Structure 1
Amino acid sequence: MVLLGWMSEAAYADESGVSYWLPGRFSSLAATPGVPGWSMAEVYYHTSVSAFGAAAAAREVQIGRFPATVNVDLNLRLNAQADLVLLNPTYTFATPVLGGQLAIGMTGLFGRSSADLNGTLTTGFGPFAATRMGSFGDSITSVGDLYPQLTLKWNAGVHNFMTYVTGDVPVGAYDPNRLANLGIGHGAIDGGGGYTYFNPQAGHEFSAVAGFTYNFKNNDTQYQNGTDFHVDWGASQFLSKQVFVGLVGYAYQQITDDAGQHPILGGFRSRVVGVGPQVGFLFPVGDMQGYLNLKGYGEFAAENRPAGWNTWLTFSISPIAPTGTVTPTRRIVTK
């Protein structure tokens, strides 16, 4: 199942620790073809993260508008939370394209993001110094950016392959002087490919999807995030035709420097790794198929970005597979 989601700006990173790509977007059965027709996925996403040092000070530098020649002491802590609801309508075409199955979709989100900074920020210019102490916070409840996606998938028995392209249309709530946002303030394009091994007889499944993100310049701040690389994976065991359990994980690494950052931040390349459990359940909804999935990630090895934990609760409804096909979260014709 492709689990779609984007975090609020308050929690994830390149500029001020904020990236377009939300790690964990793909997981188990990501590359398996679907059943032609309309489907709808709804995701409730919660995250709680924190950051210290440069990842926290970067946000203060952005909203405080400190000149590039000012030195900054990084004695700060950032805490952020978000509760988001995402809607992802998708249409899967019946006519093959390049021998594969084409699907297009659009994701939008609504929710609440909050963040607060605590500690001290000392700035110096020549013999002069100024210190900002204490704490301040911000929150917003609004809509986020739009995220179109196109996928092309192929099936060869237990082997499934995919390629995808997606991106950010920056129409969500965003203010460069605000601590918490639901938009990122700039466009982005992301593309990559994936593989799923699924053996319905044994119930074994493993998926991995990798991609790169190119970020366009934020015209409000004249800041441009570097290029990002990411890998999402999921492994599961079907306990029956309706229930599976397993593990999910991701790795995210920025591979080129940001442009337009404060000199003390350097290239400000961000990194994080996450892993956690998942459980999925399939059930009929009239003449459609329902799917419920719960997964969670604990993060570690973070650099220049907040880290913590996040959970995804996904409900989707889609056309049911014809008789004679296997019906996991993405339907596959057995051979």
Structure 2
Amino acid sequence: MHAMLARGLSSCYEALLSGALLAALVAPCQVTAEEGGSGHYLPGTLSSRINQIPPSKSLNVYMDLSGFDGSTQSELSVPLAGLAVNDLSITTQTYSMNLVWNPGIRLKGGWQYAMAIALPYSSVEVSASQEHNVQGHRLRDRDSGLGDIMIAPLMLAYSLSEYWLTELHFNLYAPTGNFEPGKLANVGKNYWSVSPVAWLQYIEPVTGQEFTVSGGIDWNTKNEDTDYQTGTQMHVDSTLIQYIPLLWGFTGIGLSGYWYQQLSSDSGSGAVSGDFKAKAVGLGPVISYRATWSGRPVRAELKWTNELEVRNRAEGDRLSFKLSAQF
């Protein structure tokens, strides 16, 4: 049994490291990002056990607080809300209330059904330069308010074995956030995104290992106000954690990483920078905590992700904190 556990843990490490190495090898290849240098997918946020479907009839409520501070290379021209800017700097804070409801419905074959919604409040601050700006000074703008809501009307979970679990999430991002053409800072994207995500998770409660990997593809509609069609995107997130009994529960420390690649070119009359395909690779530490308080499962997670390789999008550091309780 110990030999099987060792092989399983070794496989988890190999999977995480192989993904990071693959991303590092692919990154130097020539590519030519989404509109504004970012999309609905937030890098590194989809490989957390907090996001999973509750194991029984219940409601999982969690807060997701995240911040990003980054910039683009000064010579890179970025399409932003109908403008073409360079030397872009962006700071964002997002506070999201997330609800995942398992109504207790078990489908044929042993699959469990659930649904979810995420309500984000975002604050965005942007500064940039324009090549033909006659004033010669940097442009600055900020915006805050309700962002683009994420709805997951169909979520499915299935236990492959005692320790292995798989899930399928069908996420839909709605353009509910404010967007104004010609404005540097917008909390909304002004287009819809359909994002199916597949999960695989390994949990060994006795020795405390936890491994999660998720992969998804985002299809985006056109931003009609700027005639900009962001290309299809693919992303893989992975997290490996070791837990120990600590602080009236279990505290874990581990490593989390992601690989993001835009698969198809941007298009439309607003895509003045051509293909503008984006790519990013990130890696960083994660601290996790799980316990039972007043009979309710409680989880917390603190994650910092440093971007190692970025093309055609803002590069920086992302810090996130999640706190969940099951009812």
- Give the TM interval when normalised to the shorter protein: 0.7 to 0.9
Residue 110 to residue 192, structure 1, CA distance change in 2 (3 Å) = closer
Q: 2:140 matched to 1:137? A: yes
Report deviation, 1:101. Answer: 1.6
Which secondary structure state, in structure 2, belongs to the residue aligned with residue 58 of structure 1? Answer: strand
Counterpart residue identity of residue 147, structure 1: M
Q: 2:63 matched to 1:42? A: yes
Matches of 1:264 and 1:82 in 2, distance apart? 25
1:162 aligns with one of 146, 154, 167: 167
Which secondary structure state, in structure 1, belongs to the residue aligned with residue 136 of structure 2? Answer: strand
Which secondary structure state, in structure 1, belongs to the residue aligned with residue 167 of structure 2? Answer: strand
Q: TM-score, normalised by structure 2?
A: 0.82
Which secondary structure state, in structure 1, belongs to the residue aligned with residue 63 of structure 2? Answer: strand
Q: Report if the CA contact (8 A) 2:214-2:236 is conserved.
A: yes
Q: Report if the CA contact (8 A) 1:28-1:235 is conserved.
A: no
Which secondary structure state, in structure 2, belongs to the residue aligned with residue 256 of structure 1? Answer: coil
Report deviation, 1:168. Answer: 1.0
In structure 1, the gaps of 5 or more residues are 1-12, 65-73, 123-129, 320-335
Report the equivalent of 1:110.
Answer: 121
1:63 aligns with one of 58, 75, 83: 83
Q: Report if the CA contact (8 A) 1:32-1:160 is conserved.
A: no
Which secondary structure state, in structure 2, belongs to the residue aligned with residue 184 of structure 1? Answer: coil
Residue 175 to residue 94, structure 1, CA distance change in 2 (3 Å) = same
Counterpart residue identity of residue 43, structure 1: D
Q: 2:102 matched to 1:97? A: no
Which secondary structure state, in structure 1, belongs to the residue aligned with residue 82 of structure 2? Answer: helix
Report deviation, 1:132. Answer: 6.2
Structure in which a larger fraction of residues adopt helix: 2
Report deviation, 1:225. Answer: 0.6
Report deviation, 1:21. Answer: 1.4
Q: 2:203 matched to 1:198? A: yes
Percent identical pairs in the alignment equals: 24
Aligned ranges 1:310-329 → 2 under 5 Å: 310-319=318-327
Residue 213 to residue 263, structure 1, CA distance change in 2 (3 Å) = closer
Matches of 2:223 and 2:75 in 1, distance apart? 20
Q: Report if the CA contact (8 A) 2:54-2:101 is conserved.
A: no
Counterpart residue identity of residue 159, structure 1: W
1:277 aligns with one of 267, 277, 285: 285
Residue 239 to residue 209, structure 1, CA distance change in 2 (3 Å) = same
Counterpart residue identity of residue 216, structure 1: T
Which secondary structure state, in structure 2, belongs to the residue aligned with residue 121 of structure 1? Answer: coil
Report deviation, 1:261. Answer: 5.4
Counterpart residue identity of residue 77, structure 1: D
Which secondary structure state, in structure 1, belongs to the residue aligned with residue 79 of structure 2? Answer: helix
In structure 2, the gaps of 5 or more residues are 1-32
Report deviation, 1:52. Answer: 2.1
Instruction: Provide the aligned C-alpha RMSD in A.
Output: 2.1
Matches of 1:284 and 1:256 in 2, distance apart? 45
Q: Report if the CA contact (8 A) 1:31-1:196 is conserved.
A: no
Report the equivalent of 1:265.
Answer: 273
Matches of 2:62 and 2:261 in 1, distance apart? 28
Report deviation, 1:178. Answer: 1.1
Report the equivalent of 2:9.
Answer: none
Q: 2:91 matched to 1:85? A: no
1:238 aligns with one of 235, 239, 243: 243
How many pairs align?
Answer: 288
Residue 261 to residue 272, structure 1, CA distance change in 2 (3 Å) = farther
Matches of 1:40 and 1:15 in 2, distance apart? 32
1:295 aligns with one of 295, 303, 326: 303
Residue 261 to residue 53, structure 1, CA distance change in 2 (3 Å) = farther
Matches of 1:51 and 1:153 in 2, distance apart? 39
Report deviation, 1:263. Answer: 6.7
Report the equivalent of 1:22.
Answer: 42
Residue 239 to residue 95, structure 1, CA distance change in 2 (3 Å) = same
